[in-house]
């Protein structure tokens, strides 16, 4: 029997991530935003924001593990300059709801309620992939609250044909096989699409199975419903509008989930206040693969007018 049967590398790394976020000044908190929904998030102590004049940044994770797995390098880099709030979207981590709504618009409504509940009136929003869907809807619904918008690797301009192309690239028959892997082979396929590194594809099956057990098993039924509940990309007609805020789009030139051509189209759609930054030799998770370059781009954008 292998050592992985006795010691989970994923759980070990989770403990390290928790210590990193705590060292950055964040605490793990839970808030009931209404009678149906509870949100789990990392943020400063509730009393801190009354005397803290730093601008606020809301970090919205993609479809996959909970927020701390996707934003660790950003939290460490941004915490000196920003008050950071890093929630788990509904049905990720310990966030949950009894509502039957599964759309990304509902996720945006929940995040807006969270910020209102904790007393944040204005904030910048940063969303990657699925989190970018949520960030877009927040900016559209609450232009008086959302100041600047950063969308990373997020095909909010996707059409039905884009989803079909992704299935072809992944050699899968349905989107949940791509985004919610249940076997080592499926997870290796997802990592091959999401990362430009060949090293991760060489990890042994035992490690991939440990990741699946700890990060992909919880709330699988509800997450499948979330994938099916996305309102964007249901047909060949785009249903997004320009945003009134300053917007920055960041994309990896090797992205195989949402090909980089979508980034150029999205820039034209979102309006004259939109800028685009392409990170070379990077795939779908530039905040992890090229964290320092990603962080520098974000800080320059958000702090440029201060």
Torsion over CA: 58, 62, 67, 72 (sign): negative
Distance CA 298, CA 303 (A): 8
The pLDDT of residue 1 is 43
**Tokens representing 155?**
């095909």
Statement: residue 183 has pLDDT above 70: yes
The pLDDT of residue 46 is 82
Distance CA 122, CA 115 (A): 9
> What b/e string do you get for 43-73 counting C-beta neighbours within 10 Å, with b at 16 or more?
bbeeeebeeeeebbbbbbbbbbbbbbbbbbb
Q: For the segment 267-277, what is each residue's pLDDT rounded down to a tens digit?
A: 999 999 999 99
Q: For the segment 10-64, what is each residue's pLDDT rounded down to a tens digit?
A: 999 999 999 999 999 999 999 999 999 999 999 998 866 667 889 999 999 999 9
What is the pairing mode between strands 96-97 and 83-87?
unpaired
Statement: residue 198 has pLDDT above 80: no
121 with 146: CB under 8 angstroms? Answer: no
Output the CA–CA distances (angstroms, integers) from residue 180 to 104, 115, 149, 188, in the order listed: 17, 28, 27, 12
H helices of 46-155, where? 67-78, 104-117, 130-141
Statement: residue 201 has pLDDT above 70: no
Residue 198 neighbours by CB under 8 Å, 6+ apart: none
For 215-246, the DSSP string reads: IISTTHHHHHHHHHH--TTSSSS------SSE
**Confidence band for 226, pLDDT divided at 50, 70 and 90:** very high
Distance CA 265, CA 111 (A): 27
Statement: residue 230 has pLDDT above 70: yes
The rounded mean pLDDT for the chain is 93
The pLDDT of residue 195 is 87
Q: For the segment 133-146, what is each residue's pLDDT rounded down to a tens digit?
A: 999 999 999 999 99
Q: For the segment 63-95, what is each residue's pLDDT rounded down to a tens digit?
A: 999 999 999 999 999 999 999 999 999 999 999
Output the CA–CA distances (angstroms, integers) from residue 230 to 63, 101, 107, 243, 284, in the order listed: 12, 10, 10, 20, 19
The pLDDT of residue 48 is 60
The pLDDT of residue 306 is 47
**Confidence band for 3, pLDDT divided at 50, 70 and 90:** low
What is the pairing mode between strands 274-279 and 27-32?
unpaired
Distance CA 278, CA 300 (A): 15
Q: For the segment 96-127, what is each residue's pLDDT rounded down to a tens digit?
A: 999 999 999 999 999 999 999 999 999 999 99
Q: Would you give the distance in Å from CA 282 to the centre of its chain?
A: 17
Q: Would you give the distance in Å from CA 263 to the centre of its chain?
A: 17
């Amino acid at each position: 029997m292998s050592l992985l049967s006795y010691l989970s590398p994923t759980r070990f790394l989770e403990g390290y991530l928790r210590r990193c976020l705590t060292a950055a000044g964040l605490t793990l908190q839970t808030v009931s935003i209404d009678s149906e929904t509870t949100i789990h998030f990392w943020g400063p102590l509730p009393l801190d924001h009354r005397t803290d004049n730093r601008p606020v940044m809301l970090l919205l994770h993609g479809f996959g593990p909970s927020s701390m797995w996707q934003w660790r390098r950003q939290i460490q880099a941004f915490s000196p300059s920003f008050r950071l709030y890093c929630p788990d979207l509904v049905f990720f981590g310990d966030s949950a709801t009894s509502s039957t709504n599964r759309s990304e618009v509902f996720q945006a409504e929940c995040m807006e309620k969270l910020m209102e509940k904790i007393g944040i009136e204005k904030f910048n929003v940063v969303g990657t992939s699925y989190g970018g869907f949520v960030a877009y809807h927040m900016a559209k619904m609450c232009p008086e609250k959302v100041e600047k918008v950063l969308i990373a690797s997020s095909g909010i301009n996707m059409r039905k044909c884009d989803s079909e192309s992704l299935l072809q690239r992944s050699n899968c028959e349905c989107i949940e096989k791509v985004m919610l892997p249940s076997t080592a082979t499926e997870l290796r396929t997802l990592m091959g699409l999401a990362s430009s590194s060949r090293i991760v594809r060489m990890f042994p099956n035992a490690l991939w199975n440990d990741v699946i057990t700890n990060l992909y098993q919880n709330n699988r039924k509800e997450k499948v419903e979330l994938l099916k509940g996305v309102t964007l990309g249901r047909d060949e007609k785009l249903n997004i509008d320009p945003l009134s805020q300053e917007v920055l789009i960041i994309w990896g030139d090797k992205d195989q989930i949402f090909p980089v051509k979508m980034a150029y189209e999205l820039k034209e759609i979102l309006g004259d206040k939109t800028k685009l930054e392409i990170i070379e030799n990077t795939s779908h998770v530039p905040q992890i693969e090229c964290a320092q370059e990603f962080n520098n781009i974000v800080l320059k954008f958000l702090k440029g007018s201060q």
